[in-house]
Amino acid sequence: MNALVIDFALVWESLPAMLNGLWTTMLVTIIVLVLGLIFCIPLTLARMSSNRVFALPAAFFVMFFRGAPLLILLYLVYYGFGQIEALRDGPLWFIFGSAFACAVIGLTLNHLAFMVDVVRGSLEAVPAGLSEASNSLGIAPRDTFRYIQLPLAMRYGIKAYQNEVVMLTKGTAVISVITIIDLTAVANEVFERTYDPFTPMLTVAAFYWVLVNVMRLGFRRLESHLNRHHAAEDARRNEKPVKTIGSLLFHPSSWLKAKRSMLVARKEHAL
């Protein structure tokens, strides 16, 4: 073993397999996110409905799948459903027989259960007065939801959603237990072949890190686009005497201050 923890030759050699694994991880993540976005709105509306026929099943869904451990859920979907003969011989076996589809189902159920409360909290944060104003203008409830409540809820909920997306992305690592060769599975394979734990694990960790941070940058752009109605206000609020780069670099306390004022601005955005 050389002095370095990471064997770059091994990294280079396993790179194609890792990129394949990364692709699988990204594919699963994107499919689950899209399914989550499609289903979370109707499910949240059912959860918030005053009609118990809708509200109770939705509440039960959230309670069950938020509490169910993801790993166990995946085992149940992939290995459990295979034990049911009717399902095995039925028309839907092409779904339940596929490890990839089972992974997507398990992750989506889990992701949705968390999304419902993210969306619900954001919708409830929209001031009632704005819906009232919209209603009083003769805008139909459906349009009020589409043009007022939903766009504002997106702005309030985007931080919580970003957390949920990051957790999901890293959480997809568990699908390696049901035979899917994702990024984590590739690392594990390389480790088992070479008995070098550091090189493959640190490499995939770097891949995950980059993936998550690319997402973060995307969210930042999206957020500043959504919050453009605050832009002019912030410019006014943040007017400060000009500082030279030197004074900024040599006084670490100014870093803290800058960071703090950014945090404050963020918080005000959220309101």
Partner 1 sequence: MTGVAPPQNEPSLSSSIAVSMKGVEKWYGKFRALNGIDLEVRRGEKIVVCGPSGSGKSTLIRCINRLEPHDEGSIIVNGIELDGSPTTTQDVRIEVGMVFQQFNLFPHLTIMENCTLAPRLARGATVEAAERLARRFLDRVQIGDQAHKYPSQLSGGQQQRVAIARALCMEPRIMLFDEPTSSLDPEMIKEVLQVMEDLTDDGLTMICVTHEMGFARRVANRCIFMDKGEIVEAGPADSFFEAPRSERLKTFLSQVLH
What is the binding site for partner 1 (CB under 8 A)? 127, 129-130, 132-141, 143, 147-148, 151-152, 155, 226, 229-230, 232-233
For 10, the token pair is 């091994």
Buried b (16+ CB within 10 A) or exposed e, 38-62: ebbbebbbbbeeeeeebeeebeebb
Nearer to partner 1, 221 or 228 (CB): 228
For 105, the token pair is 């189902």
The least CB distance from residue 135 to partner 1, in Å, is: 7
Nearest-CA neighbor of 173 among 161, 185, 190? 185
The least CB distance from residue 159 to partner 1, in Å, is: 16
Nearer to partner 1, 170 or 230 (CB): 230
Nearer to partner 1, 156 or 207 (CB): 156
Nearer to partner 1, 91 or 127 (CB): 127
In whole angstroms, what is the distance from residue 136 CA to residue 132 CA?
A: 6
Q: How far apart are the first and last CA of the chain?
A: 55
Nearer to partner 1, 142 or 221 (CB): 142
The least CB distance from residue 119 to partner 1, in Å, is: 17
The least CB distance from residue 48 to partner 1, in Å, is: 19
The least CB distance from residue 36 to partner 1, in Å, is: 23
**Ramachandran assignment for 51, one of left (phi > 0), alpha (psi -120 to 50 degrees), beta (any other):** beta
The least CB distance from residue 130 to partner 1, in Å, is: 6
Longest CA–CA span in the chain (Å) reads 75
Nearer to partner 1, 13 or 124 (CB): 124
Nearest-CA neighbor of 187 among 25, 4, 2, 17? 17
Number of C-beta neighbours around residue 211 at 10 A: 18
